[in-house]
Amino acid sequence: MMSPTGSPQSEGLAELSPKEIYKNPHNPRLIFKEESMRLLKESIREVGILVPLIVYKGKSDGKYYLLDGERRWRCALELGLEKVPANIIPEPTETSNILTMFNIHNVREAWEPMPTALKLEVLMRLLNVRSDQKLAALTGLKVGTIRSLKKLLAYDKKYQDMMILATGEDKVKTNFFVELYPVFSAIEKYLPQIHRKYTRNDIIDRLIEKYRNNVITDVIDFRQLTSMIRAIDKGAPQQKVQELVIRVIEDPKFSIRDAYDLSARAIYDVLQMRKTCKALRDSLIETKIEALAEDSDLLQLLKEIREKIERILDEVTRMKKKK
């Protein structure tokens, strides 16, 4: 039950043993920063818990479950406090529980993305809501955040576990998978042979290995890979791009930046030149000859451009004859 202000409505304040309070099963938060926990513990040791926890009593088992205040509760357990102040509220529905957790915690310290994504998935199932805008309104998250969380849900459980449970070198940060996601859409659309040749997990595993070996030094590099593939739609040679993407996948020492340097920059230079030439052509079509005749500097510039174009066309003709 919620108050008119959107806060859980209290049934009463009580003093409970922290040992008889249980973690909320719907709280996505799994990681607590060590330094902030240390400071909070020192504060509680000195002045106690000033802001009561919010708990509800489960109807099926009679146990108290946290709705708000897990950091305070953890500190109380570590400090061995006998009692903690707690506001007891009616047991919420599963949907209300999750929404309340979002609304309470999201205005404080952001949760880890992958656990949040899993709770968002539960919420989508319970409410049968898929719209990014509606989910943003329900949870208080930004639409862009909702989209990123949905991307994480597209990955297999072993990769989700890497984001949540793994530690040290085994852990892979969430932004690795968020930035990688568009690469697969681009491959599926523009490079169907690669899409058929490799499974998604095969590609992910190879790229994770490169990331751990510092061949991929920044997850932003995946944006270059996506741009390189999408350049096919603007005239980039598909065969050349495909060869480079396969090399990125298969060659342990060949980086995305290497591939981009070999192809995409040159491709985009050519595309930009094509755009510039079209603009110049259109401008010349619309320009009156009388206006050109009166501008000697412009005429000289046009002569220089003509000479350069003629040299380029001659070189291209010779190259084609050699082939």
Residue-wise pLDDT for 28-61, tens only, equals: 666 667 787 888 888 888 888 888 888 988 888 8
Confidence at residue 108, expressed as pLDDT on a 0 to 100 scale: 62
SS (H, E, C) 25-71: CCCCCCCCCHHHHHHHHHHHHHHCCCCCEEEEECCCCCCEEEEECHH
Confidence at residue 149, expressed as pLDDT on a 0 to 100 scale: 94
With contact defined as beta carbons under 8 Å apart, do 274 and 235 qualify?
A: yes
Q: What is the pLDDT of residues 92-104, one digit of tens each?
A: 888 888 887 787 7
Single-letter residue type at 284: L
Nearest Cα neighbor of 44 from 87, 18, 75 is 75
With contact defined as beta carbons under 8 Å apart, do 106 and 140 qualify?
A: yes
Confidence at residue 268, expressed as pLDDT on a 0 to 100 scale: 67
Of all residues in the chain, what percent carry a pLDDT higher than 90?
A: 40
Instruction: Give CA–CA dist 127/108, Å, rounded.
Output: 25
Confidence at residue 166, expressed as pLDDT on a 0 to 100 scale: 63
In the predicted model, what is the mean pLDDT of residues 238-247?
Answer: 92
Give the pLDDT band (50/70/90) at residue 109: low
In the predicted model, what is the mean pLDDT of residues 241-258?
Answer: 94
Give the pLDDT band (50/70/90) at residue 6: very low
In the predicted model, what is the mean pLDDT of residues 57-78?
Answer: 88
Higher pLDDT, residue 104 or 25:
25
Higher pLDDT, residue 181 or 240:
181
Give the pLDDT band (50/70/90) at residue 5: very low
Q: What is the pLDDT of residues 292-323, one digit of tens each?
A: 777 888 888 989 999 999 998 888 888 777 75
Q: What is the DSSP letter of 115?
A: H
Higher pLDDT, residue 108 or 242:
242
Per-residue pLDDT at 170 exceeds 50: yes
Average pLDDT, the chain: 86
Confidence at residue 106, expressed as pLDDT on a 0 to 100 scale: 63
In the predicted model, what is the mean pLDDT of residues 145-155?
Answer: 94
Per-residue pLDDT at 110 exceeds 50: yes
Helices marked H in the chain — which ranges? 34-47, 70-79, 94-105, 113-127, 132-139, 143-153, 157-164, 174-190, 192-197, 200-212, 221-230, 238-250, 256-259, 265-286, 289-293, 296-322
Length of the chain: 323
In the predicted model, what is the mean pLDDT of residues 157-179?
Answer: 85
Per-residue pLDDT at 192 exceeds 80: yes
Give the pLDDT band (50/70/90) at residue 70: confident
